[in-house]
Amino acid sequence: MHVPERTSLPHIVVVGAGFGGLTFAQKFPGRLARVTVVDRQNHHLFQPLLYQVATAGLSAVDIAQPVRAILRKKRNLEVLLAEVTGFDLGAKKVLLDHGVATVAGGTGKGTAGRAELAYDYLLLAAGGLTSYYGHDDWEKVAPGLKTLDDALAIRRKVLLSFERAETEPDEQRRRELMTIIVVGGGPTGVELAGTFAELARTVLVRDFDRIDPSKARVLLIEGGDRVLAHYPPDLSASARRQLERLGVEVRLGKHVKDVRAGEVQMPDGEIIRGTVIWGAGVVASPLTKQLGVELDRAGRVKVLPDLSVPGHPEVFAIGDLVTLTDEKGQVVPGVAPAAMQMGRHAAKVIAREIRGDHQSPVGHEPFVYWDKGSLATIGRSSAVAEIGRFHFGGLLAWLAWLFVHLVFLVGLRNRVAVFSNWVYSYLTYKRGARIITGLHGGGPAGSA
């Protein structure tokens, strides 16, 4: 236990403990400023593996770590579980949903119990949310995949429909209960569709007596003309072939027209019934709207080349909630490595300024994205990879994906757990995490 030094050090507030915020917190030199990391969850989530929790391959704790545990040894750093409700950029304050004890601004004075946090520098790294493109009512019937609770909800929904199918007398209805409709052919949609197809054919098939889960229908509906639109066309084609090999029905070129409970409607009027999962859009956290600066259509902040927010040289924004074309003309993508690189860059810029290397906010070093390549997984030993000029698919891409994700997993324990879980699943085709929670209401000790 260490109490932060209450000196006249500047105070940096970091909003969000995702890849960007966490990297900033880890890289920023502790002796230069007090840092307060605020997040509405108590854990950092390894989002690239969230689809594995949804598809019952991993358990929730395998991919999450308490933020306090990760940053435990960092000097002059505090973690706060609270929800940011807005900003007062003029007064340099972050507004919170509940009171905070003795957290002070740069002056060192207490603001006991008031629901705000004074800062000298602000780093906004709150990430994104699932976007339903204006159809917010679709959220209830087609869960997205952004949080652990989302993943557990998707898992519950799919496993429950197979349970219902097992006892359903009507054949038509049974077939619908065994249909999974994934909307959106980006990385999330491709992962979900591929893994669910595999889960049904290799694991669930041995669990049920009456139904034959290998006959489960998995559809991937994408509005554009190819899956993984941000990848080179040859990899999109490869991903599609690998999906089809797993038994996924890929439908391209058509946006869903409507989503209702248990069905989607296509533009030509066709109704497809099944369990609908939303893998389509991402928008920036609604917090960006509170900044009063220009945003793009997805609500992302148009940051300056140094990642600061226009008009507020002491406010920086990074990760999925910004849009930026860097000095080299690269559009920085909304992926974990980009967020981490931005976190590191912001730490460097702010540290330099505090040290006095740059007295003026003008002339900060611009951020340049280093594209290490892209990897998307499809199923067991299926993936596509783009590393520099090399494009490849199949087992080699999957091994690369496995390696990269294990190396990046925060926390040794999780790495060991995830790895042993995978090896075990791979060898036995069992899925240990196939547990449904939250089935009978969240309250304590159900009524029957």
Provide the annotated active-site residues. 191
192 contacts 145 by C-beta, under 8 angstroms: yes
Q: Which is nearer to its own copies, 99 or 311 (CB)?
A: 99
Q: Structure tokens of 37?
A: 């990391």
CA dist 338 and 114 (Å) reads 35
Say which DSSP state 202 is in: I
CB of 77 to its own copies, least distance (A): 8
Whole-number CA gyration radius for the chain = 23
CB of 60 to its own copies, least distance (A): 6
- CB-based contacts of 241: which residues, under 8 Å, 6+ apart? none
Burial class (CB in 10 A: 0-12, 13-18, 19+), 253: exposed
Reference 76, options 342, 336, 351; nearest CA is: 351
Please list, residue by residue across 411-441, b when 16 or more beta carbons sit within 10 angstroms of its beta carbon and e when fewer do. beebbebbeebbeebeeeeebebbeeeeeee
269 contacts 173 by C-beta, under 8 angstroms: no
Q: Which is nearer to its own copies, 215 or 355 (CB)?
A: 215
Q: Structure tokens of 125?
A: 């790294």
Say which DSSP state 427 is in: H
Reference 377, options 235, 275, 253, 252; nearest CA is: 235
- The DSSP result for 368-390, as a single string, is ------EEEEEETTEEEEEETTE
Burial class (CB in 10 A: 0-12, 13-18, 19+), 442: exposed
CB of 172 to its own copies, least distance (A): 13
CA dist 271 and 80 (Å) reads 47
CA dist 167 and 274 (Å) reads 16
CA dist 226 and 239 (Å) reads 9
Q: Count other Cβ atoms within 10 Å, centred on residue 145.
A: 22
89 contacts 77 by C-beta, under 8 angstroms: no
What values do phi and psi take at 335, rounded to 5? -125, 165
CA dist 85 and 274 (Å) reads 37
* Residue corresponding to tokens 């989302």: 150
Helix (H) or strand (E) holding 425: helix 412-428
